Amino acid sequence: MANVKNKAILFYDNPNRNVNLYYLSHFMAPDPYVYILYDNKSYIITRDLECERAQLESTATKVMTHDDLKKQFGNKDADLFQCVTSFLLSLKVDSLVISQQFNLKLLDVLISNNIEIEYLPDEQLIDKRVVKTDDEVAHIEEAVRYTEETIEYVINIIRASKIEKNNLTYNGKKLTSEFLRNEAMLHLLKNGYVCMDLIISSGDHAALPHHLGAGPVMAKSPIIIDIFPRSLKHYYFGDITRTVIKGKPTSDQQKMYQAVYSAQSKAFDLLKEGVLGTDVHKSVVDYFEKAGFKAKKANGVMQGFIHGTGHGLGLEIHEYPYVNASIPCKMRKGNVVTVEPGLYYHGIGGIRIEDDVVIKKNGIQNLSKMSKEWVIE
């Protein structure tokens, strides 16, 4: 956690939107609530209907309602923000640390009562969230297992399909990205996970890294399967990508796949405690260039390796630390990051391979156990 000695941390948000709030409180609710951390004690101020559940589920020292505070301060007409401010003042709080996402009306009330405000980025506000505990790693590893199981489920459908000209058919119908995405989402939901924006794309759609996929799945063309589900129980994410091809790949496609596979292996070799993510990313870029895959603009769009090598993973799908060109993050023991190099070319498609790894003192622990064989007969 950031250095906030003699200061209180204040949140007023929805824990689905603000994962730092959930990380501290361990209380998930559909509506915003107030969370205060001060002098090693924590307080939740929530609606009447959530009060008992917050007492049972949260880590808060004390749970209160708006009505409790109105009675405490003898002002039945005080709104929530006035009550929160009065409560802070009763604790002798005169300085607050808040995130950059904050309710402006509450901010005005706090400032008007001469409470000093300090803003911190999320990764600094709850710094310890960047380094995962053993329990958090176990949650992510569970998410990875279900992600891989779902990718295997999708691959088995592709394996059972037939090649008819440039397309695939399954049970007598054209196999589509929409069908595969729906099947994957249902499979995840049965296991307590959700992923509404998962990617199953082929052809030129696969040349756009975040295209969800649409229309017929193409034969003899790379098919990117990128699934990143969130648990409905513990709320941690997994994020795994595999690329497969139904039919014999061309020499160019095989060369691309081998380059991506080798680039990922290079990143694995470099990642460890103390290294900069920017240095790892640069090494991956350099490797691609030496292999003949320099990123460049063609027909008005960038092609080649056109995104970062990886990102942190946990309660958010993209979080600190990053392994990219623009944010120099020093890897710390216990970080969980993705490693996902890829190549993208219109007219050929895209290839991406992604695993989730835990940073160790002298290397990594790969949470993914799934095969990277990509040719499906």
Q: Which helix (H) or strand (E) holds 376?
A: strand 375-376
Percent of the residues in the chain that have a pLDDT greater than 90, as a whole number: 93
Q: Which CATH superfamily is domain 8-129 in?
A: Creatinase/prolidase N-terminal domain (3.40.350.10)
pLDDT in tens, 168-224: 999 999 999 999 999 999 999 999 999 999 999 999 999 999 999 999 999 999 999
pLDDT in tens, 23-53: 999 999 999 999 999 999 999 999 999 999 9
CA 268/CA 136 separation, integer angstroms:
21
Mean pLDDT for 310-317 is 97
The ranges assigned to domains in the chain are: 8-129, 131-376
Amino acid, single-letter form, for residue 274: G
Burial 190-212 (b: 16+ CB within 10 A, else e): eeebebeebbbbbbbbbbbbebb
pLDDT exceeds cutoff 90 at 127: no
First to last CA, the chain: 51
CA 321/CA 182 separation, integer angstroms:
32
CB atoms within 10 A of CB 72: 13
| Predicted local confidence at residue 5, as pLDDT | 52
| Predicted local confidence at residue 109, as pLDDT | 96
**50: helix, coil or strand?**
helix
| Predicted local confidence at residue 299, as pLDDT | 83
Average pLDDT, the chain: 95
**Closest CA relative to residue 21, chosen from 13, 31, 105:** 13
Contact 353, 346 (CB under 8 A): no
Q: What is the dihedral of CA 290, 293, 298, 300, to 10 degrees?
A: -90
What is the maximum alpha-carbon separation in the chain? Answer: 78
CA 50/CA 218 separation, integer angstroms:
50
| Predicted local confidence at residue 58, as pLDDT | 98
Instruction: Note the pTM of the prediction, 2 decimals.
Output: 0.94
Architecture of the domain delimited by 131-376: Alpha-Beta Complex (3.90)
| Predicted local confidence at residue 309, as pLDDT | 98
CB atoms within 10 A of CB 373: 9
CA 204/CA 358 separation, integer angstroms:
33
pLDDT exceeds cutoff 60 at 244: yes
**358: helix, coil or strand?**
strand
**70: helix, coil or strand?**
helix
